[in-house]
């Protein structure tokens, strides 16, 4: 047990017959006055309990070693086989994970192996579907290395202190004092942050989600700090959080702002992770990525995660990576096999509103995201849903970051049932209770469709993605089908069928290309009009509203008496603060 005397104290039974649960045994192996230290410790732990001190015995060793053995047996063995540190395994067990996902099995061992260059790791390019565990695939190996490095630093500091203590003892001097940790919030102790790992995310919500996951994983790692740096938040708050941070999760814009103002130095970054690199390029962060690449030129490893290995992604990898290894778990056509995808054709925006109104009243919807194409459409749709009695809020890039955070928190807490969002704002939303995704407005790019429907069916759960398209959207539908290599099976709802037969729509689509007539593809120089587009809905046998319903545009108003047909769903205010203290709206 070491060269110092060991002492222990135990609580005496107040009524006789002490059991193991009644005894508190503590190692008080202080090399200076162990009894005095034990008394002070006892005063904190058990103020009013009678104590008895005695020397350390073998039965105490057996008593404290058995719980540790039980803890080791609870660690997830499949994750332990990947070679991860024990604190990470404990965190994984606390989170309830027992088996690594395919992308984690493939990426973690490769990320932890040494590279060709001296003191370097293997660079990785990883492509996998959303909700497949990509975040843990890059966080776990990075945190594992940071834990090892921290343990080595602490061991070196301990050895240096022991050496100086031995020298002082030989010289007959008192042992040197251990250095105290300085308060980084005081101005006189301020110094620029020097993180060892950096994770770049394209959107604020995704960065916050990744930082939250990282904090969950370091819950058992003493002294390992994680900081989140995103735009729209107070500078002073983020500067304070950056102090002594080992891992920084950031968006490129705010990170470079803090770097230029001298609040953070990137020269000592060893690990750089670019999450959703394709979205980074879509949002115009190419120049920022080039600047960060130059500032972290001495890093040991670069990992890039993207939806696809498109030529532009490979060109980016060629500039910032060293002979990267590729990990592709699935292809676009293999993704989201557990998500049911449906397509409904619409004659007009009013018809589309009626379809959405029908779907939002369907039983079985726990929570859902309704995607809009623009911020204006997002706000208008959310307001219409609120007036119809649904617990709904809007989320898009024009809102302040504080308001976006509150609305996401309301969604996670179940106080909001329907989130109306744009593509940019919805990146990084990971809420297991989202059962449905509605594509009210189609995405600008085909790959964004994959990210949209990936908000449901997370981690192998079942989900439903409903797409509502007008006839003029045939080209976009064809592009989505070509990208995913999957054909949509158009469906209809009784009483809400489109005026044009679905079979004719599919025939004219031609894989996303509209009907071509002549050299310029049709009525060149004239306004194109397709059957069923614009104007009044033609008469016919089909009833577009359902039996017994009056003429209406948009969503049904609440029923007489103030109750909505679908139940007590209320969203009285846009700000999700108004949902504080309320439960989820029940149907």
Closest by CA to 271, choosing from 197, 194, 195, 193, is 197
* Per-residue model confidence as pLDDT tens digits over 361-416: 988 899 999 999 999 999 999 999 999 999 999 999 888 888 998 999 999 899 99
pLDDT at 64 over 50: no
What pTM was estimated for this model as a whole?
Answer: 0.66
Closest by CA to 123, choosing from 301, 258, 266, 249, is 301
Q: Which residue has the higher pLDDT, 329 or 542?
A: 329
* Per-residue model confidence as pLDDT tens digits over 103-140: 999 999 999 887 555 567 899 999 887 777 889 999 99
What pLDDT band is residue 168 in, cutting at 50, 70 and 90? confident
Helix (H) or strand (E) holding 228: strand 226-229
Query: Is residue 478 a contact partner of residue 510, using CB atoms and an 8 Å limit?
Result: yes
- For every residue of 334-350, DSSP letters joined together read GTTTTEEEEEEEESSHH
Contacts of 511 (CB under 8 A, 6+ apart): 478, 481, 482
Q: In this structure, are strands 367-371 and 434-439 parallel, antiparallel, or unpaired?
A: parallel
d(CA 339, CA 583) in angstroms, rounded, equals 28
* Per-residue model confidence as pLDDT tens digits over 268-290: 999 999 998 888 888 889 999 99
Q: How many alpha carbons fall within 13 Å on the CB side of residue 71?
A: 12
Contacts of 453 (CB under 8 A, 6+ apart): 336, 339, 341, 437, 439, 463, 465
Tell me which CATH code domain 112-163+191-330 carries: 3.40.50.300
Tally of residues, the chain: 587
Angle of helix 311-320 relative to helix 286-295, nearest 10 degrees, comes to 20
**How wide is the angle at C-alpha 585 spanned by C-alphas 581 and 587, nearest 5°?**
160
pLDDT at 21 over 70: no
DSSP secondary structure letter of residue 567: B
Distance of CA 202 to the CA centre of its chain: 12
- For every residue of 375-440, DSSP letters joined together read HHHHHHHHHHHHHTT--EEEE-TTS-HHHHHHHHHHHHTTS-SEEEE-HHHHTT---TTEEEEEES
* Per-residue model confidence as pLDDT tens digits over 521-577: 444 333 444 444 444 444 344 444 444 444 444 555 544 444 444 433 333 344 444
d(CA 143, CA 124) in angstroms, rounded, equals 16
SS3 for 416-428, per residue? CCEEEECHHHHCC
Number of continuous H segments (helices) and E segments (strands) in the chain: 19, 15
Domain with CATH 3.40.50.300 in the chain: 112-163+191-330, 338-516+541-579
Q: Would residue 324 be called left, alpha or beta, if left means φ above 0 and alpha means ψ between -120 and 50 degrees? A: beta
d(CA 133, CA 145) in angstroms, rounded, equals 19
pLDDT at 305 over 50: yes
d(CA 447, CA 444) in angstroms, rounded, equals 9
Burial 543-558 (b: 16+ CB within 10 A, else e): ebeeeeeeeeebbbee
Of 237-246, 366-375, 483-492, the range with the highest mean pLDDT is 366-375
* Per-residue model confidence as pLDDT tens digits over 189-229: 678 899 999 999 998 889 999 999 999 999 998 889 999 99
d(CA 307, CA 309) in angstroms, rounded, equals 7
Distance of CA 535 to the CA centre of its chain: 44
Report, at the CATH architecture level, how domain 338-516+541-579 is classified. 3-Layer(aba) Sandwich (3.40)
Residues in a beta bridge with 370: 420, 438
Q: Report percent pLDDT > 70 for the chain.
A: 68
End-to-end CA distance of the chain: 63
């Amino acid at each position: 047990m070491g060269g110092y005397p060991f002492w222990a104290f135990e609580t005496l039974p107040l009524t006789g017959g002490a059991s193991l649960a009644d005894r508190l045994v503590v190692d008080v192996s202080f090399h200076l006055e162990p009894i005095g230290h034990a008394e002070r410790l006892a005063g904190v732990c058990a103020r009013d309990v009678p104590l008895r001190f005695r020397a350390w015995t073998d039965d105490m060793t057996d008593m404290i070693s058995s719980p540790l053995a039980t803890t080791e047996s609870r660690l997830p063995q499949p994750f332990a086989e990947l070679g991860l540190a024990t604190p990470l395994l404990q965190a994984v067990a606390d989170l309830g994970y027992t088996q690594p996902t395919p992308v984690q099995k493939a990426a973690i061992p490769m990320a932890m192996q040494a590279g060709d260059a001296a003191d370097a790791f293997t660079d990785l390019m990883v492509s996998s579907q959303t909700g497949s565990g990509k975040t843990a695939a890059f966080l776990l190996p990075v945190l594992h290395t940071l834990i090892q490095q921290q343990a080595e630093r602490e061991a070196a500091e301990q050895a240096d202190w022991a050496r100086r203590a031995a020298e002082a003892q030989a010289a007959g001097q008192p042992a040197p004092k251990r250095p105290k940790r300085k308060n980084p919030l005081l101005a006189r102790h301020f110094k620029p942050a020097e993180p060892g790992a950096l994770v770049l995310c394209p959107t604020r919500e995704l960065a916050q989600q990744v930082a939250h996951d990282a904090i969950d994983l370091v819950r058992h790692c003493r002294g390992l700090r994680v900081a989140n740096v995103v735009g729209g938040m107070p500078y002073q708050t983020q500067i304070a959080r950056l102090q002594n941070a080992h891992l920084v999760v950031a968006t490129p814009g705010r990170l470079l702002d803090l770097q230029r103002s001298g609040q953070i130095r990137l020269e000592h970054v060893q690990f750089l992770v670019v999450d959703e690199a394709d979205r980074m390029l879509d949002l115009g962060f190419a120049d920022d990525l080039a600047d960060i690449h130059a500032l972290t030129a001495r890093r040991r490893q670069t990992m890039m995660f993207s939806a696809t290995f498109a030529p532009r992604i490979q060109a980016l990898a060629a500039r910032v990576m060293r002979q990267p290894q590729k990990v592709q778990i699935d292809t676009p056509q293999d993704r989201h096999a557990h998500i049911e995808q449906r397509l409904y054709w619409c004659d007009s925006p009013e018809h589309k509103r009626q379809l959405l109104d029908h779907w939002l009243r369907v039983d079985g919807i726990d929570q859902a995201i309704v995607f809009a194409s623009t911020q204006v459409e997002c706000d208008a749709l959310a307001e219409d849903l609120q007036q119809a009695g649904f617990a709904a809020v809007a989320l898009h890039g024009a809102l302040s970051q504080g308001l976006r955070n509150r609305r996401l928190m309301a969604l996670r807490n179940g106080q909001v049932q329907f989130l109306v969002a744009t593509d940019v704002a919805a990146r990084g939303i990971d809420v297991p209770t989202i059962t449905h995704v509605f594509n009210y407005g189609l995405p600008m790019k085909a790959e964004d469709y994959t990210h949209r429907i990936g908000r449901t069916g997370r981690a192998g759960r079942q989900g439903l993605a409903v797409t509502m398209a007008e006839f003029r959207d045939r080209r976009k539908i064809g592009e989505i089908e070509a990208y995913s290599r999957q054909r949509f099976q158009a469906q209809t709802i009784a009483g809400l069928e489109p005026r044009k037969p679905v079979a004719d729509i599919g025939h004219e689509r031609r894989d996303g290309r509209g009907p071509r007539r002549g050299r310029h593809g049709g009525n060149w120089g004239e306004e194109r009009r397709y059957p069923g587009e614009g104007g009044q809905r033609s008469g016919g046998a089909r009833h577009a509203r359902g039996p017994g319903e009056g003429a209406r545009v948009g969503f049904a108003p609440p029923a007489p008496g103030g109750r909505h047909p679908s139940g007590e769903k209320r969203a009285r205010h846009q700000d999700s603060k108004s949902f504080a203290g309320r439960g989820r709206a029940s149907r």
